[in-house]
Chain A
């Protein structure tokens, strides 16, 4: 019996080629799209799962509201980890990281710039399951020891045994390699190639509770109730350590300070939630975003639904053509249940065919997709649970897609099918129309979402930021120049394409930096201080960056008093509440130890800079002060427009002379700027592609459906033509029905899309208006796409000889 079903199924497939192609292709594209997205989603969800203690590992984060700044940080004080272990029996172990940025690393002569370096405690291996391939778990107990990754070992030592060898950091510190680990998994919220021992480090042992620089992780013992533990940690720490230090520094108790609204608070992030749920200041690496997981997940489901709906629609529409076969089978004694299993069987065959094709499509497009998503995804062919899920999913889709046609078709009365024409039942048409509306609803939402995302991204990229990021070359690690800094700057100015250059501690792009308070009076009090950015710049910085001064003047190296001057941005002035800021004096702090109290230095305000965006546009502009100080961060070089290659060559030649042996690394500021939005751009691109895919599948379905609608009305078209209808008249007659559905979809889709867009945009401090134009454009494109899709069949049947249509009788 089943052999007969399969035979009939295959014969139907080959006999009705274009229909089969649409049916199987649509479903397989849907399956491939869904599969690719699900790979991405499951990768995002798998972050940090590779740790065997992941379910009881947490990170301490701090929320600080002080002096007008309210921020949450992924870092905590240096003594915290030790206190957690010694004061709380619930804690099994704890580990700290300290990110000191990049280092120049060399084995013999050649320095390499390494970004992925972190300092850490010897307990690293108790908390995280890093796989040692050489050395022991006590590898980091001694000072000046380092554990490196396999990749790093290969880079510096090729095939030699790296264990016991040494590496030199920044030309002075020598570290012995005491362990080699397998490269860290990709799905980790931090990835490093060098883990350097913190043992003996000055900052690591400083006991300061009011400075937060250490990402701190702890593992709870098995069976400990985390809620109860959480509740008692901070009160204990506040009483025993933090409170006394605050009193010492500020001359007031924590409770007194808290009355004005200021506070410190710790919160505890489960390890596995960090990647998708944490976006704090000073993360070890940019994290993912649960929002995008939801967006992608819904895209996957939508695409699959569109594809399944297609399948159902086409199969039911096709049913009229099978009526005679069904009638005959019934006359021959087939039961309704036999027919149901026959049609389900056909549907399953088609679905599995589509699954295989979809798998192949996904496999072929995976490399390009990986590049796009900046991931290293692969289809887990060898994983039995993948096959279980995929095959049972396919089976389910097959049943779902086949069930309606199966029950509908098997319900035909034989006499109807063998004698007269079989007219489409009303309910059947309604369902089919409902599904088309649903598909186009999704399509319109996808179009609007795609356009909205693109509009916001281009807004971000083209927004006037308040400084000029074009034609600015940034040379990193200026400290490598040592005493030749000024000589290098002078050498650069000799080149005709170089306008000017400037050394500074920070650039107007997001980076890891911290706030410190400036105050209106010499004492530090919550109500007269503003926590703000302090940037060390030289006298050319404001000109190089094209930052506009609102009032006052720029720094002047000739004026000795400028070394105790400050230029504030508008936000800082506003927060201070200064009416006429230029000429006023505020106070900053000199570097103070934990017991030194607040050592203030007076700073005269000489100018006010117009606000400019130096953080991501997701955030509002925060207070900022410029000070004229020596700095060895980066050198910004303003170039004339045009080909920069000669200027770069000049800069590199001069660098090699003045900083021999040091790596020369440069980037363009607008590139760094675009990097901020790399995730958004990537998500935007991927989303565009998948929504295009969704729309394409929806059109395939409409195309197939239009074919049947036209075929069913062939006779009517013929008669109308005999009676004098024009081609245009016929085309509009046929298109009208579909357009009605698309219009209906449009009306339902607009509010949904509008709501979703405003949800997404609410995470940006600076954003575009969603606006009518997007909806008008999306609506028009949906209509045009539908019209275009349907027109193929309607025009074809409208220009045919009328007799061809009538003869079908």
Chain B
């Protein structure tokens, strides 16, 4: 599903040049749940952003479902993104001005789903996430756990083939964190590919493969025990 060849991402500021990804090669198959680990600044988030097509690589190739998209235009990437990808962020990234319902509905507006279908789909997800009673609240009125469940609902509303999660439990207590991991695992079991960046070994082991990064490169790849 995903294959990168010598992927490089360099950040340039006035004085400093930072290499976040350094000729990174990686392959992820459909149906995998991959956890990415590594110290701060090793390039985990950058990798996720490039894979999620919300950032473009400096050089190298990135094949998504056998299509080279690293150098596609923003419009082209946007098209692939809205139909195939879902995002979950550490800081939730809900839009403050929209209600819970509207936040979850938003991606379907961009994929032009009919109003009735949208309503049904949002309600189905909110029901499943157990936050239906909060549908008309604004994000600031929710707890962190509730916000992240809304964010997950939003990420999967368009049935994405790939979910990219950037420390989805980083801002949550263990109970809420476990709940989010349970949802992700369930999605993976239903066939969704997941790539998750995390600092926590505990969370990482929910996946079936752990990739460790250092200085923009993959240093080790291990299958998680139960898959050995």
Q: Which of A's residues lie within 8 Å of B, judged by CB? A: 423, 715-716, 718-727, 729, 799, 801-803, 806, 809
Contacts and interface: CB of A to CB of B under 8 A. Distances in A.
30 contacts: A423-B96, A715-B93, A716-B96, A716-B97, A718-B93, A719-B93, A719-B95, A720-B110, A721-B78, A722-B54, A723-B82, A723-B106, A723-B110, A724-B82, A724-B83, A724-B107, A724-B110, A725-B78, A725-B110, A726-B75, A726-B110, A727-B74, A727-B75, A799-B74, A801-B55, A802-B54, A806-B89, A806-B93, A809-B91, A809-B93
Nearest to A809: B91
A154 B87 CA distance: 89
Contacts of B54: 718, 721-722, 801-803, 806
B91 A724 contact: no
B56 interface: yes
Interface in B91-146: 91, 93-97, 106-107, 110-111
Given A724-B110, A803-B55, 4 more contacts: A716-B96, A721-B54, A723-B82, A801-B56
A723 B154 CA distance: 9
A491 B89 CA distance: 97
Interface of B: 49, 52, 54-56, 74-75, 78-79, 81-83, 87, 89, 91, 93-97, 106-107, 110-111, 154
Contacts of B49: 803
Point out which of A423, A724, A803, A806 has the most chain B C-beta atoms below 10 A from its C-beta: A724
Contacts of B56: 801
Contact of A726 (B52, B78, B89, B106): B78
Given A715-B93, A719-B95, A802-B54, A724 B81 contact: yes
Point out which of B56, B74, B106 has the most chain A C-beta atoms below 10 A from its C-beta: B74
A809 B91 CA distance: 8
A724 B78 CA distance: 5
Contacts of B111: 724
Contacts of A724: 78-79, 81-83, 107, 110-111
Nearest to A805: B54
Contacts of A729: 110
B113 to A, nearest CB: 11
A640 B165 CA distance: 86
Contacts of B79: 724
Nearest to A723: B107
A724 B74 CA distance: 10
Given A727-B74, A801-B54, A803-B49, A722 B110 contact: no
Point out which of A718, A723, A802 has the most chain B C-beta atoms below 10 A from its C-beta: A723
A806 B94 CA distance: 11
A488 to B, nearest CB: 79
Contacts of B96: 423, 716
Nearest to A802: B54
B121 to A, nearest CB: 14
Contacts of B82: 723-724
Interface of A is mostly: helix
A722 B87 contact: yes
A722 B55 contact: no
Nearest to B89: A806
A330 B91 CA distance: 28
A172 to B, nearest CB: 86
B2 to A, nearest CB: 18
A803 B52 CA distance: 10
B81 A722 contact: yes
Contacts of A715: 93
Nearest to B97: A716
A195 B111 CA distance: 88
B78 A720 contact: no
B82 to A, nearest CB: 3
A53 to B, nearest CB: 70
Contacts of A722: 52, 54, 81, 87, 93
A532 to B, nearest CB: 75
A725 B94 CA distance: 15
A801 B54 CA distance: 6
Contacts of B52: 722
Contacts of A423: 96
A138 to B, nearest CB: 83
A345 to B, nearest CB: 31
A726 B55 CA distance: 15
Contacts of A809: 91, 93
Nearest to A719: B93
Point out which of A716, A722, A803, A806 has the most chain B C-beta atoms below 10 A from its C-beta: A722
A510 B176 CA distance: 91
Q: Which 9 A-B pairs have the closest CB atoms?
A: A724-B82, A724-B110, A802-B54, A803-B55, A723-B107, A803-B54, A803-B49, A719-B93, A716-B95
A725 B81 CA distance: 10
A802 B85 CA distance: 14
Nearest to B98: A716
B191 to A, nearest CB: 21
Contacts of B78: 721, 724-726
Nearest to A729: B110
Contacts of A716: 95-97
Nearest to A423: B96
Contacts of A723: 82, 87, 106-107, 110, 154
A182 B180 CA distance: 95
Contacts of B87: 722-723
Contacts of A720: 95, 106, 110
A809 B171 CA distance: 14
B227 to A, nearest CB: 31
Nearest to B94: A719
A718 B55 CA distance: 11
B139 to A, nearest CB: 11
Nearest to B55: A803
A747 B94 CA distance: 36
A713 to B, nearest CB: 9
A423 B96 CA distance: 10
A809 B74 CA distance: 22
Contacts of A719: 93-95
Contacts of A727: 74-75
Contacts of B74: 727, 799, 801
Nearest to A801: B55
Contacts of B97: 716
Contacts of B55: 801-803
A719 B83 CA distance: 15
Contacts of A799: 74
A650 B94 CA distance: 87
Contacts of A803: 49, 54-55
Nearest to A804: B55
A347 B85 CA distance: 49
B167 to A, nearest CB: 12
A722 B96 CA distance: 16
A657 to B, nearest CB: 82
A307 B83 CA distance: 47
Contacts of A802: 54-55
Nearest to B83: A724
B96 to A, nearest CB: 7
A292 B173 CA distance: 72
A138 B95 CA distance: 89
B17 to A, nearest CB: 17
A724 B79 CA distance: 7
A802 B55 CA distance: 7
A456 B81 CA distance: 57
A724 B94 CA distance: 15
Nearest to A716: B95
